[in-house]
Structure 1
Amino acid sequence: MPEITTPAGLLLLWALLGYLLGSVPFGLLLTRALGLGDVRAIGSGNIGATNVLRTGSKTAAAATLLLDGGKGAAAVLLARALAGPDVALLAGFTAFLGHCFPVWLGFKGGKGVATFLGVLLAAAWPVGVAACLTWLATAAGLRISSLAALVAAVLAPLWAVLLGRPEVAALALGLALLILIRHRANIARLLAGTEPRIGRR
């Protein structure tokens, strides 16, 4: 196999590697391994941690959260170590795409919140911490997981600018727009006042 040395070739390679890493459907794999059935047939049909929690297994949900966040962080950290900081941001972005649109599941994946936070924590940990705290504060105050995710996503570019990381702000803005698109149904329910609260069916 010829060595890839051109900038375009390296970008394409890391974009693909980031996507493949992000596309690993940990929620589906864990629920099957634990005998909890196919998470796509439960609740919203989403493969993320929130829907995994609907199986009744907090352990599976927590593991899904950590692994989905971890794959986003791993894509950024590996690309940064081997190819540089600019390529790391690209790999983080495509890891997010991989989670949301995994080729293995017919491009029907999760909504990307955990992967989004993992990417930000690895790209610029103060920005990631600010986004995580935003999610936690909103979730604790309003008890609506989707709203917490939307607020964290929308404010993440602002945190990046305020913390002096404009290059991460551009990444966060792109991810935030995708999170808004992935949460279209949740936004409609929020406007209608029918979005479920945390701890309620």
Structure 2
Amino acid sequence: MIFFSILITIFAYFLGSVSSAILICKILRFPDPRNFGSKNPGATNILRIAGLKIAISVICFDILKGAIPMWLGYHLKISPIFLGATAVFSCLGHMYPIFFKFYGGKGVATAFGVLTTIDLNLSIVMISSWALTVLSFGYSSLGAIVTAFIIPCYAWYFQSQYLLPTIIISSLVVIKHGANIKRLWHHKETRIWRN
């Protein structure tokens, strides 16, 4: 079982490393998101580059990247320790993809996919806090940052055995939003509904 647990964790990283944002833009001949807009291969930048439909497809794929390895792990009944590792490595793959010179997205949608499989309550809290923040202030990045700080508290309440991986994932999300935090501080961040 340890062998399969390790395999699933490795699979999670490699699946996470498949950047839907970059591949979809390449296939549909949109600009490379790494060189356009915020230069982030994530859904918010894709929204600016290619529009809502393409951005939604990127979000769905990124969610599945987090959910599929976790579902597989649950099906094979691997231990919570390895499930936690699988969750972290899914997000690491998305953020630091081996197939794209370790330059990836910020992991929000992939983290959502992971949390959905851990506990539906966590995914509800995540999407609610993100949506409330974005609707209140207009910044997708601020929604992600606020949610990253909140979600470990709920993980402790709903699924305490996954608190550590949730803290790790949340920390990674905040780290990946470092440039956004600086822009927010200097009032230079772009609101989600602006091009």
> Hey, what does 2:93 align to over in structure 1?
98
The answer to whether structure 1 residue 131 and structure 2 residue 130 are counterparts is no
CA distance in 2, matches of 1:161, 1:58: 34
CA distance in 1, matches of 2:83, 2:72: 7
The answer to whether structure 1 residue 77 and structure 2 residue 54 are counterparts is no
Alignment partner of 2:38 out of 34, 44, 47: 44
Alignment partner of 2:164 out of 140, 156, 170: 170
Report the 3-state secondary structure (helix = DSSP H, G, I; strand = E; otherwise coil) of the residue aligned with 2:69: helix
Aligned residue type for 1:171:
P
Alignment partner of 2:108 out of 105, 109, 113: 113
Deviation at 1:83, TM superposition (A): 4.0
More moved, 145-154 vs 88-97: 88-97
Q: Deviation digits for residues 164-195 of structure 1, max 9, x if unmatched?
A: x1122222111011111111111111111111
Aligned residue type for 1:61:
A
Root-mean-square deviation (Å): 1.4
> Hey, what does 2:83 align to over in structure 1?
88
The 8 Å contact of residues 124 and 168 in structure 1, kept in 2 or not, is answered as no
Deviation at 1:149, TM superposition (A): 0.3
CA distance in 2, matches of 1:114, 1:161: 21
Report the 3-state secondary structure (helix = DSSP H, G, I; strand = E; otherwise coil) of the residue aligned with 2:40: coil
The 8 Å contact of residues 24 and 102 in structure 1, kept in 2 or not, is answered as yes
Q: Percent identity?
A: 32
Aligned residue type for 1:74:
I
> Hey, what does 1:191 align to over in structure 2?
185
Aligned residue type for 1:178:
L
Give the total of aligned pairs.
194
Deviation at 1:89, TM superposition (A): 2.2
* Higher relative contact order, chain-length normalized (CA < 8 Å, sep 6+): 2
Deviation at 1:158, TM superposition (A): 0.8
Alignment partner of 2:56 out of 54, 57, 62: 62
Deviation at 1:11, TM superposition (A): 3.9
Aligned residue type for 2:19:
P
CA distance in 2, matches of 1:143, 1:41: 24
The 8 Å contact of residues 156 and 169 in structure 1, kept in 2 or not, is answered as no
Gaps of 5+ in 1: none
Alignment partner of 1:16 out of 10, 29, 33: 10
The 8 Å contact of residues 69 and 116 in structure 1, kept in 2 or not, is answered as yes
TM-score, scaled to structure 1 = 0.91
More moved, 10-19 vs 44-53: 10-19
TM-score, scaled to structure 2 = 0.94
CA distance in 1, matches of 2:25, 2:182: 28
The 8 Å contact of residues 78 and 88 in structure 1, kept in 2 or not, is answered as no
Report the 3-state secondary structure (helix = DSSP H, G, I; strand = E; otherwise coil) of the residue aligned with 2:29: coil
Greater Rg over alpha carbons, structure? 1
Q: Deviation digits for residues 10-43 of structure 1, max 9, x if unmatched?
A: 4432221110111111111111222213222211
